[in-house]
Structure 1
Amino acid sequence: MKSVDIVIIGSGLAALSLADRLSNDKNVIVLTKGKKYNSNSVRAQGGVAASMSEQDDWENHFRDTMVAGCNVNNHEAVELMVRQGPGFITKWIEEGLGFDRDRFGKILLGKEGAHGKRRILHAGGDATGNVVMEFLMNRLQGKVTIVESEMVLDLIVEEGNCCGVITSNDQNRISTFHANHVILATGGCGGLYEVTSNDETVTGDGIALAYRAGAKMVDLEFVQFHPTMLNTTSDISHGLISEAVRGEGAILITEKGKRVMKDIHPLEDLAPRDIVARVIQSEINNGNKVYLDISMIDNFETKFPTITSICQHATIDVKAKLLPVAPGAHFLMGGIKTNLSGLTTVKGLYAIGEVACTGVHGANRLASNSLLEGIVFSNMLANYLLNLKEETTLPLVSLRATGSVRFKVDQLPTKAEIRRLMTAYVGIERTEQGLVHAKQWIEQFELNSNQKLDITKISKQDVEKINMLTTCKLIIKSALERTESRGAHYRNDFPVADNEWINKQIIRQRSIMRDKQKVKTEVVK
């Protein structure tokens, strides 16, 4: 058994950003079930959204985030993110992180769907995530231990306090890590669907771990589908075609040349992702192929080297100027319920990044707010942990897993079967009938009694499938409970939320925020 101050589960942006802040004061270990570069953060093409220009401000970014999120957002979380984000990014720039600049040395700012201003910072063209992650990896060398191929099987909870984890490596060796603080930064759940932009390791593990430990979940019905995955067949995705491509003028068309988003939304091809995804899927369901026309973008290969490489691997010639696309599972807006400092409802357990839900994204994440979320809320948690006045080392109790696995291990379905189910019934469009069918299909694999299995006796492969089934059922339960269509949760049997009402609520909230700020200013004076 190993004992450390802090265990961080996951190796994406939120995890490493937190580790970087804590490394000088705490004994930190990072555990990841794959390799350290297996994360969605490394894959991020679009960039980081932040109001960095003189033509922009945090209130504009706030409004765009709220509109995209259909006002389901936690207003306080949104304000915190858009106000604090530029400061953290500026600090990284001063410390050597290089974002793309024009020939005069000014940082280039791109525009993406549902953004009213150009505020997307890129690095390496469309390789932003990779550049930022390399920056963090370099900073952590010699300071933080990153253990690869170490899958967390379960959290250890004693008397309501999370005090460690039980893991298994590639040699199936079981280990335990005792810690005062356990942080989940495992990413989302794109691997529950057939077509996804996510890394192959992202299968909803963090949600399942937290659920077994007794943590509360929120907004799990909100699963965002990115409109433009590079697709040559119905169930195979070759990679993501960043929204930044449409931000540079690319348009969606059918094979007959019809403008897909024309007259559908005022922002047309840069409409919120849920709308664009549903329209593209509708065209595909009607037998039409959809393409991204990039003919208006000069020097495409130079501006988008990562996408060009993806196309080359898929044997698609970018010089033909038409890229075949289809929607794919991309981002989970909901997750483990946390406060603004990352604390969950279980003492000693924290969550940051996509696996967490502060409510900052609402019903539909605004483009390029994901990296910003990871940066801001990892820093909020770092501030909390570094400012704890007293920290009592937990006693070395008899460590054991939560032991609440209730699935028939010898009858588990394949991953492919799970993904087909979720894609068909819990995907871009849903109905009560389909959701009930999916729920009942999963329940057939559950034990009929209160029998609890020893998770350390189950293979890593089966634990992953159990985690997938657990997260799937939680998403289905949430989707059944929300009897309306809002943002990324679209129910064919219920109407779409009133956008006019949403806009009025956003305007009202901005007025309240201004009044609060005025009061604060007057008090200071």
Structure 2
Amino acid sequence: MKDDDVVIVGSGVAALRLATLLRDDLNVRILTKSRMENANSYLAQGGIAAAVAIEDDPIKHFADTLEAGRYHHHHSGLVREILNEAPELIQEISTDGDIFDKDARGNLVLGLEGAHREKRIVHSGGDATGKNLIEYLIHSLRDHVEVEENIFAYELIVDEKENRCIGVKAKNQDGVIRHFYGNYIVLATGGCGQLYSFTSNAETVTGDGIAMAYLAGAEIADMEFIQFHPTLLYKDGKVRGLISEAVRGEGAILVTEDGTPIMEGVHPLKDLAPRHIVSQAIFDYREKGHEIYLDIDCISNFERRFPSITEICQKNGVNLAEGRIPVISGSHFLMGGIKTDGIGRSSLKGLFAIGEASCTGFHGANRLASNSLLEGLYQGKKLSRWINSHEKLGAFPRHALQAVEEKTIQLPDISLLKETMMKKVGIVRSKELLSEQMEWLDQLDVINFTILDVYSIQDLTMIFMYINAYLITEAALKRTESRGGHFRSDFPNEDEYWRKKVIIQNREGGVVIDEQTETEEVNGAVFY
């Protein structure tokens, strides 16, 4: 087997964009725990945000991003850079792949989503943007990229002498251990949405990369900020799929069973308010015993505009002719993750993170709709440029395939974790509920696992989910305010003290509350 220069764990938009842009003399290996298409990026319906319209401007996109993120973004320069480059990123793919929807004149069709003040959402196949983008990137991979599916990465290999990440351990479906080494180990494993009983996330999104990085000693940041998507299809007591925010962008409104609009008087943007505002409103109504629906009567061409959503609804027995789709809020996106700089470098030398597994601070406390695929495209391109500018390094150690006798982990069933996270660390939090969850997780001692080789893939997944739950709960308990995706009923307001504070978690260093020092005035507000 040839030596790898770059090992990428994950197969979402950030991972694939990186792989397609790395130079041909680099040996690149992609490891993914399932099939390439089984990722959040593939499920993305809405689109990619970019200021490409004549009347739009990256400055407007910047202002909307800050407003949605509640001014918690770590570095204004990085936010500006990503948004300024967004039109070019769209143009590159549009020219090469021609996958985006266009009108009869050949102009990009632009949609509107929550917290955007301009139409700037570029989409593909109506509501199949993620699917079409991922398929385009897969077809763009070249011969120097080797893809291994159905292999589960579970532990980073660290050279203790150099304090550098040099590889990753992984198990195949038979439980056999393999070692992969490279100059650049890149985690692009996504977020951790499956920690919650209601979620839009793919079944594979269990926080693996974040847990691996934490166990290896890398810094983790902003884990308290979880975005709950307002509109998940809810039928027969279960989440059946995602109803894109673009539906509300076309005019649909949220109503109770008797037709009462729930967003009137809540926010100036009403149903297109930032996601945390809408999710909290839905939560409040459901707590009072109401069912919530998305009224789509005003969208005359719904089936043509949203073919994927139409298929999901029909498959689950929702009659669109009635003009209503039953919805509930659930976990959707993690703003936190492995702390990195703008290139993707983590605090552990040799380890990089991109996509939802990373945290650059770009999304602040709450991601602006359709900024995630954009970030993935940007990060993949940015890191590829950096790696391409460096020389190839030497060979790596060799390890034979290793089989071990597995033992079973003693942790409560994962369904209990999902239930308690939704109830105690979900849309609305409090000191009482968070403390109860923290005490339970402390008793389980989930962050002190050391010898991971002996556990099955199923048990390793469970361990990683519990570690992520611990990190989220600990950070949420520390932040005594409400901001973006973090809402505390006992501290319901934003606190100026906390706006410039970043909660950083490190296995060896504990919890550090870091103060951002960069300041900038935006629309009359001081932005840290």
How big is each residue's C-alpha offset from its partner over 1:405-437, in whole Å with a ceiling of 9 and x where there is no partner?
Answer: xxx954211111110111111000101111111
Change (3 A) 1:108 1:215: same
Match of 1:115 in 2: 116
Matched, 1:18 2:31: no
> Kindly, what percent of the aligned residue pairs are identical?
46
Distance 1:315 1:445 in 2: 41
How big is each residue's C-alpha offset from its partner over 1:480-502, in whole Å with a ceiling of 9 and x where there is no partner?
Answer: 11110001100011032169x98
Match of 2:513 in 1: none
Distance 1:259 1:61 in 2: 28
Match of 1:246 in 2: 248
In the alignment, is the contact (CA less than 8 A) between 2:340 and 2:358 conserved in 1?
yes
Q: Helix, strand or coil: the match of 1:195?
A: coil
Matched, 1:457 2:442: no
Match of 2:510 in 1: none
In the alignment, is the contact (CA less than 8 A) between 1:111 and 1:118 conserved in 2?
yes
Q: CA deviation at 1:444?
A: 2.3
Match of 1:177 in 2: 180
Computed over aligned residues only, the root mean square deviation of the Cα atoms, in angstroms, reads: 2.3
Distance 2:110 2:519 in 1: 26
Amino acid at match of 2:6: I
State how 1:176-325 maps to structure 2 within 5 Å: 176-234=179-237, 236-325=238-327
* Structure-1-length-normalised TM-score: 0.91
Q: Could you tell me which runs of 5 or more consecutive residues in structure 1 were left unpaired when the two chains were aligned.
A: 402-407, 514-525
Q: Greater shift after overlay, 274-283 or 139-148?
A: 139-148
In the alignment, is the contact (CA less than 8 A) between 2:23 and 2:388 conserved in 1?
no
Higher helix share: 1
Amino acid at match of 1:197: S
Amino acid at match of 1:10: G
Distance 2:61 2:25 in 1: 34
Match of 1:522 in 2: none
Distance 1:228 1:274 in 2: 12
Of 481, 485, 495, 2:482 maps to 485
Matched, 1:385 2:387: yes
In the alignment, is the contact (CA less than 8 A) between 2:228 and 2:333 conserved in 1?
yes
In the alignment, is the contact (CA less than 8 A) between 1:22 and 1:386 conserved in 2?
yes
Q: Helix, strand or coil: the match of 1:444?
A: helix
Change (3 A) 1:176 1:64: same
Distance 2:328 2:446 in 1: 37
Change (3 A) 1:447 1:350: closer
Match of 1:413 in 2: 412
Q: Which runs of 4+ in 1 moved over 3 A?
A: 397-401, 509-513
In the alignment, is the contact (CA less than 8 A) between 2:182 and 2:396 conserved in 1?
no
Match of 2:429 in 1: 430
Distance 1:433 1:368 in 2: 34
Q: Helix, strand or coil: the match of 1:457?
A: coil
Amino acid at match of 2:70: C
Distance 2:123 2:396 in 1: 46
Distance 1:345 1:18 in 2: 20
Match of 2:521 in 1: 508
Amino acid at match of 1:418: L
Q: Helix, strand or coil: the match of 1:411?
A: coil
Distance 2:40 2:47 in 1: 13
Change (3 A) 1:58 1:335: same
How big is each residue's C-alpha offset from its partner over 1:42-68, in whole Å with a ceiling of 9 and x where there is no partner?
Answer: 000000000001101110000000000
In the alignment, is the contact (CA less than 8 A) between 1:215 and 1:336 conserved in 2?
yes
Distance 2:120 2:382 in 1: 22
Distance 2:73 2:175 in 1: 42
Distance 2:521 2:205 in 1: 38
How big is each residue's C-alpha offset from its partner over 1:134-163, in whole Å with a ceiling of 9 and x where there is no partner?
Answer: 101111154421111100020100121100
Q: CA deviation at 1:171?
A: 1.2
- Equivalenced residue count is 500
Matched, 1:127 2:128: yes
In the alignment, is the contact (CA less than 8 A) between 2:176 and 2:401 conserved in 1?
no
In the alignment, is the contact (CA less than 8 A) between 1:189 and 1:332 conserved in 2?
yes
Matched, 1:153 2:150: no
Change (3 A) 1:447 1:414: closer
In the alignment, is the contact (CA less than 8 A) between 2:27 and 2:144 conserved in 1?
no
Amino acid at match of 1:508: E
Amino acid at match of 2:319: D
Distance 1:510 1:356 in 2: 28
* Structure-2-length-normalised TM-score: 0.91
Q: Could you tell me which runs of 5 or more consecutive residues in structure 2 were left unpaired when the two chains were aligned.
A: 500-517
Distance 1:244 1:447 in 2: 39
Matched, 1:140 2:141: yes
Amino acid at match of 2:321: K
